Structure formats: C-alpha cells, structure tokens
Amino acid sequence: MALLTVETGSPTLRMTTTIHMISPVDSGNTSGGTLYLLHGAGDNASTWHRLTTVEQYASHYGCTVIMPQVGRSYYTDMAYGLDYFHYVTKELPELCGRMLRLTDDPQKTYIAGLSMGGYGALKCALTYPEQYSKAVSLSGVPNLQQRLNDPQMTPELAREMAGTFGERLQVKPEQDIYALSAKLITEGRRLPALLACCGSEDPFVDMNRDFASYMDKLPYDFRYVETPGTHEWRFWEEHLKTTFEFLYNNN
C-alpha cells in the first residue's frame, strides 16, 4: 500500500488544503474501487489513518481511500465561510480521479464518515446518488435540526454553528437528511444503500434510533447496527469491520 499526503491549492476553497490517500497501486489488487472517508468535527485528514487500521482493510479489499480535510464545516457550503460541500462532492473526486486514475463507476464508489462525517456521508450520497452506491454513518448526526436546537449547546458552539448554518440555525431542505431521503423517492432516482452504526451509550443514539425507524419505512437498502459503546475511536475501529463488510460482501 502507498500512503500519500497531498498539499494542494483548491479553487473552491481558495486556499491550500490537505488530502490523505491510501492507494493499493503497488499491491496488485486495485479491484475495490474508491472510498471517501470523512473525519469528525474535532479531527482532520490524518486521524482515520493515525487512529485506526483502515490501511489494513484497504489492502485486503484493494480499495483506494481518500480522506479530505474540511475543518468543522459539517460538509456544508457555509453561510459565512467556504463551500466545503461543493469541494468534497465535485472538486475532490475530479482531482483525485486525475491523480490516481480512479474509476468513475458509481458502483465502485463509496462514502463513509464518523460523527460530523457520518452526517456528511449521508448528505453526499443522498444528494448525488449517481456518484456513490453506498454510504456509511458511524455515530452520525442524521437529525441536524435537532442538533442545532440542543438547549445545552455552549455559546461558543452556537456561534460556530451560526457561521455554518446562518444566524437562525435553520437547516435548509438540501441539508436535511430526512428531506433528502424522501426527495429521492419522490423523484424516482436511484437509492443508495445505507448503513448507520451507533453505540448504545453514544449521545446521538436516540437520534440514530429515530432515523432507523424512519428509514425502515422507506424502500431503501438500509441497515442499522447498535452495539455497546460511546462516541470514541474504539467504537469506530470496531465498526470499520462492519463498514467494509457492508461495502464489499454483497458486491
């Protein structure tokens, strides 16, 4: 496996940004397609590789893993900030596709993330189902409005969220996972397969249970996995196995 750290100027972000990549080009097994792996709000492009065994899974499945850096943007074109959603869904695939000669087959293109990145993965796949065949949310935030309405949110976090979502902290339809999942059905578009995992002691567990109940009523290939655990790397490491099995065992 090859581990690449790319420092590159981004026209969308108008600054230099970092991308970490795991590539199986030297292993002879490149059949696994591409996984875009998204970090959480307190992390950066390096944390998945530093804190988990993702490289071993990538090697086993012959998968290229792309890990971008988006700060605390919630993978959103921010109200008072940068267009991170456009960067991740449009500029990043085009750039990485050129650099690594990635397949453009959506059946071999996946997206996953943890916490903020779990929300981002669902949002990307439900907005552009023609780009990603499967998405995985680990300890994600499927009900963003509920998160923004949290009465225990600190003033510092509320100010930060206002920079991302606007002063009213109101989620738009294109940022709402529930609205996006319903819209695809109404429009008769392709439905991505989805997996959500959450720990039974995670602060977002009730939100994930409610989302699972909602999705079970819709015609998605949707799976929900809940096991003991909280919002931490030991849980996410455990469910990397769950993630890769979901992505590859039915292919």
Range of the domain at 12: 2-144+175-248
**18 in a structural domain:** yes
Q: Report residue 91: phi and psi, to 5°.
A: -65, -45
pLDDT score recorded for residue 251: 53
pLDDT score recorded for residue 241: 97
**164 in a structural domain:** no
As a whole number, mean pLDDT of residues 107-112 equals 97
Q: What is the CATH number of the domain that holds 112?
A: 3.40.50.1820
Task: Give the closest residue to 71 by CA, choosing from 44, 36, 99.
Answer: 44
**155 in a structural domain:** no
- The mean predicted confidence, pLDDT, of the chain is 96
As a whole number, mean pLDDT of residues 186-209 equals 98
Number of domains composing the chain: 1
Q: Global pTM?
A: 0.97
**157 in a structural domain:** no
**151 in a structural domain:** no
**153 in a structural domain:** no
**123 in a structural domain:** yes
CA distances from residue 82 to 8, 17, 27, 38, 249 in whole angstroms, order as listed: 16, 12, 37, 17, 37
**66 in a structural domain:** yes
